[in-house]
Amino acid sequence: MKQIYGQSASGNLRDAASTINNPDALILMTSADNFERHVHELADMYKGVPSIGGIGISYAGTSATEGGVTLIGLYEVAACAGALEELSTMPVKYIKRLTDAISAVGAGAGNSACFDFTTGCDGKLVTTLNTELDKRNIPLIGGTVDGPTISVNGYIYKDACAFLMLRNKTGKIRAYKENIYLPTGQRFVATKTVPENMTLVEVDGHPAARFYQDVLGISDEEVATQTFKNPFGRVYGQETYLISIKEITGTALNCYKQVNDMDILTLMELKDYKQIVKDTLDKMQQDLGRVSGIISVNCLFRYLLFQQEGYLNDYFREMNRYNSHAGLVGVGEHYCKQHINQTMCCIAFD
């Protein structure tokens, strides 16, 4: 399996596609202004090729584009694209589209993955997809786009998920998540929440906003940006999944991930992210032997943090160590059975 990507900072899809000939599958990432036009243009350019598309900041190789377009062409892969509709109400109604895609490509453990773009409802989506993926040991990687629509095979959908089922014909596919934060060691309990609004109301019986501020010694104004350095973490077995804080509402905290009553929480702290990125790439090489490509979703908060720290360009250069890295800046990430925040998740293949 291999990928060829193209990019146009000006938003010219034909320029981005100039080196992508006869692909087996396509991933389109573009701006809101150009999305509908690019979706239809792509379908005309690559008739019959399975494709998914989403809105957002994208990157390829060593550079990102915030208003342009990135196109990934995949080769030596069996692929099938589909949509789960009515995402906010009943996505399971469309689950046969996923099982049909799994059968169509012969997907299974070790050499396959599902890559998705969604317009929201991440928790419900991840649960729905994993009713079929988990029992086949097929990993899910994806994220939330920065807009109300996604595309599948030239069609545009609202309130939906676009998925691309992939089977590497020549080797393995592995899924990874990268967390640049570590727990502080303190543990707390979410004692009152409003899950449907992703609101954390109380922690250990105290108003959540005041609790967060008191532990860190910060003001109201600092809360929204402090999450760059100190997000909450949800402890789940041996894993910790990040929860980004959006804003203070009264004495509660609105978050970017659902929190439930009695969830075990911890505060996270930023670690040596440069070394962690190197370790992730070393792990990929150790697992795969030869890394042919990486398709990733990076959280918007990671993107902004790296930008703020002056590390963003170095990050893309490091991630392009194997000369084939591309992806989307998401506003939520999916890793296997979890909706996560402030994380990089990806598939890597040989």
Mean pLDDT of the region 305-323: 96
User: What angle (nearest 5°) sits at the alpha carbon of residue 117, between those of residues 268 and 178?
Assistant: 30
Percent of the chain with pLDDT over 90: 96
Q: Is the pLDDT of residue 239 over 90?
A: no
pLDDT (0 to 100) of residue 224: 81
Percent of the chain with pLDDT over 70: 100
Q: What SS3 class is residue 350? A: coil
**Contact between 133 and 173 (Cβ < 8 Å):** no
CB-count burial class (<10 Å; 0-12, 13-18, 19+) for 227: buried
How far apart are the C-alpha atoms of 223 and 200, rounded to whole Å? Answer: 14
The amino acid sitting at 38 is: H
How far apart are the C-alpha atoms of 223 and 221, rounded to whole Å? Answer: 6
How far apart are the C-alpha atoms of 128 and 161, rounded to whole Å? Answer: 11
pLDDT (0 to 100) of residue 118: 98
* pLDDT tens track for 36-68: 999 999 999 999 999 999 999 999 999 999 999
Residues in a beta bridge with 183: 268
Q: Is the pLDDT of residue 223 over 90?
A: no
Residues in a beta bridge with 27: 52, 72
User: How many C-beta atoms surround the C-beta of residue 150 within 10 A?
Assistant: 29
* pLDDT tens track for 129-153: 999 999 999 999 999 999 999 999 9
